[in-house]
Chain A
Amino acid sequence: MGQKTLFDKIWDSHIVKTIEGGPDVLYIDQHYIHEVTSPQAFNGLKERGIPVSRPERTLATADHNIPTINQDLPIREELSRIQVEKLAENCKNYGIEFFGLNHPKNGIVHVIGPELGYTRPGMTIVCGDSHTSTHGAFGAIAFGIGTSEVEMVLATQCILQPKPKKMKITVNGKLQKGVTSKDLIMYLISQISTGGATGYFVEYAGQVIKDLSMEGRMTICNMSIEMGARGGLIEPDETTFRYLKKLPSFPKSFDWNSLLMKWKEMKSDPGAEFDREMEFNGDLIRPMITFGTNPGMCISIDNSIPTNDDVASEDSASFLKSLDYMGFVPGMKLLGQSVDYVFLGSCTNGRIEDLRAFAQMVKGRKKASNITALIVPGSKDVEKQAIDEGLDRILEKAGFKLRQPGCSSCLAMNEDKIPAGKYVVSTSNRNFEGRQGPGARTLLASPLTAAAAAITGRISDPREYI
């Protein structure tokens, strides 16, 4: 006893009550909501005739099903329009702050939360969206929940939750040139598998993690869920504090010095025990790309797809079904394969550093003629920053166009669908069957690999184009 992990410290200090043989009643500091997973929760409140317990602790945005062009016009798709209107109405009725379409603070929930200073170290954060794990980059416990749980948080600011087990992933060394945090997390998922961290909350540590920017760390924590983890978090450090201090919209009412003192305590005690610990060497990681239909089906870009002999016999049927969907065969090489679409965006890679990396690679080059590109900033703020920095003009010169913010093609709830049978190199987080449109074939990769594909028209090693 006594030695606690960062996760233990935050979790334990938010327990309202522990139920014998059951879950903990956990207090939630910050709740984010969006249009898709909240309407049924508000219906529940209405039917029970109860108010939102702490409306000031919930923030709403419209992101999942909004269009990414002509946002000033009414949403064309009727059900999507109703869903967004419903959210606006619910927020108004219950006194919740709402950054709707065309609001200068609108954007993907996991992009705006951090950039507006709502996400801070030591907090408990939930949202009806599995990529809520993103916010763990700030040293917060953040995880996705279902709609029944959204209703619980609205009604009581609490949630019933069994405490997950703890895993520590240490990445030593240094990432090579052309290898990004996206490649790192994809590498980890390929090693641990798509369900390998189920039941765990991960703490990431090691030199490679320390060297990452906040945006890079968000990409890592974001995709923790893709190995099944409940969430991922990173001890806050000078990088974290610098990022928060520089935020233009960081709440002015906060006493910075006393916050900083508190945040500096947010670390795992030396010798604190984890249920599972893993170590990796960051020097060895190369640019990664997926070849199958879950994020664990992932290889170094210059490797070949595994053969059927490489796969355990009971996994063979799922493996072959997946390759069949992708139109690939076991053992084939991906480099040089022609692709049709490139998608840059999402809560994984829709931030300014991602746009900068993409723009820098395509600068002075031209989009390949066979490529249709969707370049989607994660928020209005990112969009504005990109324009202020002139990235939009660099993109335009190379044959690309900056769209307006939203989740877009990541889950293709809006019109940004990839047609059936077409290949898309995508900076998003999921390559599930039909994820980017019915029959669409997703190849997950970093913004650099996406840029290399966009200018060559095929799967290309980004290290050759830096």
Chain B
Amino acid sequence: MPEMPKEKLKILESTCVPLPFENIDTDQIIPARFLSATSREGFGENLFHDWRYDKNGKKNTDFVLNNRKYSGNILVAGKNFGSGSSREHAVWAIYDYGFRAVVSSFFADIFKNNALNNGFLPVVVPEKFLNNLLDLIQRKPESLVRIDLEKQLITVLPAEESFIFEINSYKKECLLKGLDDIDYLLSIKDLITSFETRKKQ
């Protein structure tokens, strides 16, 4: 079994945590000095560390994760989320903290792949939808959002503003069934070996 057994993901319904900044890079999600661990667990403690804590290690009360108004397992962030370093630790940290999906108007490529490989859903919505949602959560933190992976539908409750998001069908299947790319690749080992033989000739 892989270290972090992949949870199946079908429907999420939750309040949201807003992070209305653009270009949030993986160094902000988990600073490099916390990357020295050799397992996947425990990174949640240091999620957004330098925004979450001041230099004396005290909680920064202005930061959303320290604000009791906000809770839930859906993170909503400004455009170009997860840019920069390829560190999968960023996804492990967000997941370990308890988030199961992140909504933004677009994601950095490597972050998106890393998220999908960990059963964590990046939901891409239009910029206007994102800005309305960020605005709503900040005005009414009790607002619920429902993400239905099967239908690829994100709905803001109860106003019922909704959007059909894209996800490639292979990855969708993996998330719904809790499947793993490595299992898949191992299952086509013969094909890979014959590719190698062909390549040598």
Residues of A bordering B, CB below 8 Å? 16-17, 19-23, 25, 27, 36-37, 39-40, 43-44, 47-48, 50, 53, 64-65, 77, 79-80, 82-83, 86, 128-130, 132, 144-149, 151-152, 155-158, 160-162, 164, 194-195, 198-199, 225, 228, 230, 294, 296, 314-315, 317-318, 321, 411-413, 420, 430, 432-435, 438-439
Contact = CB atoms under 8 A, between A and B. Distances in A.
A357 B188 CA distance: 50
Contacts of B3: 40, 43-44, 47
Contacts of B87: 36-37, 146
A406 to B, nearest CB: 13
Contacts of B58: none
B185 A160 contact: yes
B95 interface: no
Interface-centre pick from A195, A430, A438 (highest chain B CB count, 10 A): A195
A321 B171 CA distance: 36
Interface string B96-139: 00000000001111100110011000000001000100000000
Nearest to B115: A146
Nearest to B87: A37
A434 B52 CA distance: 13
A40 B25 contact: no
Contacts of A19: 170
A432 B84 CA distance: 9
Interface in B174-200: 181-182, 184-186, 188-189, 191-192, 195-196, 199
A27 B191 CA distance: 11
B83 interface: yes
Interface of B: 1-3, 20-23, 25, 27-28, 31-33, 35-40, 50, 55, 78-80, 83-89, 91, 106-110, 113-114, 117-118, 127, 131, 168-171, 181-182, 184-186, 188-189, 191-192, 195-196, 199
B2, B31, B36, B170 — most chain A CB neighbours (10 Å): B36
Nearest to B85: A130
A247 to B, nearest CB: 24
A164 B199 CA distance: 23
A195 B39 contact: no
Residue of B21, B169, B170 contacting most chain A CB atoms (<10 Å): B170
Contact of B110 (A22, A144, A151): A144
B91 A413 contact: no
A152 B182 contact: yes
B38 A83 contact: yes
B9 to A, nearest CB: 16
Contact of A294 (B25, B85, B169, B185): B25
Most buried by A among B27, B37, B38, B168: B38
A205 B181 CA distance: 35
5 contacts: A155-B182, A156-B182, A314-B127, A321-B21, A430-B25
Given A22-B171, A145-B113, A48 B182 contact: yes
A152 B174 CA distance: 15
Contact of A434 (B27, B37, B83, B108): B27
Nearest to A81: B36
A183 B33 CA distance: 29
Contacts of A420: 55
A148 B188 contact: no
A434 B30 CA distance: 11
A158 B199 CA distance: 14
Contact of A318 (B78, B127, B168, B186): B78
A14 to B, nearest CB: 9
A230 B113 CA distance: 12
B42 to A, nearest CB: 12
Given A23-B168, A435-B27, 6 more contacts: A80-B36, A148-B114, A149-B117, A155-B182, A199-B109, A318-B78
B182 A43 contact: no
Contacts of B199: 27
A318 B39 contact: no
A146 B85 CA distance: 9
B2 A17 contact: no
